[in-house]
Amino acid sequence: MKSHRIALLFNANKIFDREVIAGVAAYLSSTRAAWDLFLEEDFRLRLPGIERWQGDGIIADFDDPAVAEALTRSRIPVVAVGGSYENQTAYPDDVPYVATDNFKLIKMARDHLIEAGLRHFAMFSLPEAQENRWAQEREHAFRTLMGQDKMEPHIYRGLGTSAPSWDEAVEQQIQWLHSLPKPVGIIAVTDARARQLMQACIMAGIAVPEQVALIGIDNDPLARMLTRIPLSSVIQGAQEMGRTAAHLLDQMLHGVRMSGTRVLVPPVGINVLASTQHEAPKHPHVMRARHFIRQYACQGIKTHQVAEYVGISRSSLESYFRQELNCSVHDVILRFKLDAATSMLARGERSIAEVALCCGFTSVQYMHAVFKRELGCTPRTYQDRAMLGIVDDGSALPPPELAA
């Protein structure tokens, strides 16, 4: 069987690109295609002269204008991967193109915020630039959706990410956040952008999700680990894009003409976490307390520390929680710790001892007792069931929409 030399021109530092690459790998593992893959951490260093590369095919990220330009002169089969465009002339000529559906990404995010009970919406985007064309397409989708409902599209691009401008960028983000009507649902064009805005909210004391419900795009595990409040995110169909691109290239290698083919791949769904579990509280003390708990529950905080942060007595805070949530402050803290623990166990990336430590339980034995009491099983049993997809949360604690 002949082996083909295939170059994958993607930035492996980005979650979207890595997922596309994973999709290519999934296609190869499910077929008899014999490919020798060439992948570099920073392929842009090799762009000059790429058209003279003595390989058999290329799958490339055409969201990068430098890549699109370099490959216009390629003599070997090329499959493009990138964002969708409303203007059909924006697609490359004579190159098969597999696109993430930008309109559906934004519509899914906005529909989720509407279902969460929000009535005001905004978008946090990126500065206008050729390399950010996909972000501007997402802006256009947002404007279209808002226009259909005769609503004002609040869009803020802010500054690019750089160390020298970080303080100024955060100050401007906080000013923009304060200018928005509340409560507001904000769609960030990526999880990385959402994480930046989350930091601005925390620094400004703006409660997430009571005042600002925030959703990103990419479902990036790193962004989730770097935010104090778990971030909701739209899951792109990037792996399906990779599989589709590999299939198209495989056909081209066997003589099938694919020039001009366009495939639009919709999003997979939404990973709904605390940042969009919006429920407007009746009392500002409860909102402020939950904002604090959401950030620090897994650091082992106690009820008296929450009361000190809010600025009222412990007994008064407990009274407000009983009136509004029908549970104690301790119950809400424990619910957050339990949710964090079940999430970590389901991913199977850490030992039970590590999970107990990360989630603020004083010992493995205490976490074991909490699991038995609230979920009716041990942490190990929960993890085993989660791996099999048969988890049943029988918790007697307040449900996540209350504890969130």
Tens of pLDDT, residue by residue over 3-55, are 899 999 988 888 999 999 999 999 999 998 899 998 876 666 567 777 777 88
Q: For domain 284-388, give its CATH number from 1.10.238.10, 3.40.440.10, 1.10.10.60, 2.60.15.10.
A: 1.10.10.60
The CATH superfamily assigned to 102-235 is Response regulator (3.40.50.2300)
Angstrom CA distances, 23 to 1, 36, 79, 119, 382, stand at 23, 16, 14, 37, 30
Better-scored residue on pLDDT, 353 or 391 = 353
52-61, 288-297, 362-371: which is most confident: 362-371
Question: What is the arithmetic mean of pLDDT over 296-316?
Answer: 92
**Per-residue pLDDT tens over the stretch 81-123:** 999 999 998 998 889 999 999 999 999 999 999 988 899 999 9
Instruction: Output the pTM of the full model.
Output: 0.78
Burial class (CB in 10 A: 0-12, 13-18, 19+), 397: buried
Q: What is the pLDDT of residue 400?
A: 38
- The β-bridge partners of 36 are 5
Q: C-alpha distances in angstroms, 119 versus 35, 93, 123, 397?
A: 50, 41, 14, 30
**Nearest Cα to Cα of residue 205 among 311, 105, 279, 69:** 311
- Segment among 39-48, 126-135, 196-205, 347-356 with least mean pLDDT: 39-48
Q: Mean pLDDT over all residues of the chain?
A: 89
For residue 236, the model assigns a pLDDT of 96
Interval 327-374: pLDDT, tens:
999 999 999 999 889 988 988 888 999 999 999 998 999 999 999 999
pLDDT score at 53: 78
Higher pLDDT, 148 or 278: 148
Q: Express as a percent the part of the chain with pLDDT over 70.
A: 94
For 356, the token pair is 């107990």
What per-residue confidence (pLDDT) applies to 41?
64
Backbone angles phi, psi at 307, to 5 degrees: -65, -40
Largest CA distance in the chain: 76
Share of the chain above pLDDT 90, in %: 61
Asked if the domains 4-100+237-266 and 102-235 are classified in one and the same CATH topology, the answer is: yes
pLDDT at 175: 97
Tell which residue, 30, 8, 35, 54, has the closest CA to residue 253. Answer: 35
Q: For residue 195, give every residue at least 6 positions away whose Cβ sits within 8 Å of its Cβ, in sequence order, or none.
A: 216, 223, 226, 227, 231
Q: Beta-carbon neighbour count of residue 115 at 10 Å?
A: 11
Q: Where are the domains of the chain?
A: 4-100+237-266, 102-235, 284-388
pLDDT over threshold 60, residue 396:
no
Beta carbons within 10 angstroms of residue 395's beta carbon: 20
Convert the pLDDT of each residue in 253-287 to its tens digit: 999 998 889 999 999 999 999 899 887 666 888 88
**Mean pLDDT value of segment 173-194:** 96
What pLDDT is stored for residue 390 in this prediction? 62
Residue 297 above 60 pLDDT? yes
Contact 270, 233 (CB under 8 A): yes
The CATH fold assigned to 4-100+237-266 is Rossmann fold (3.40.50)
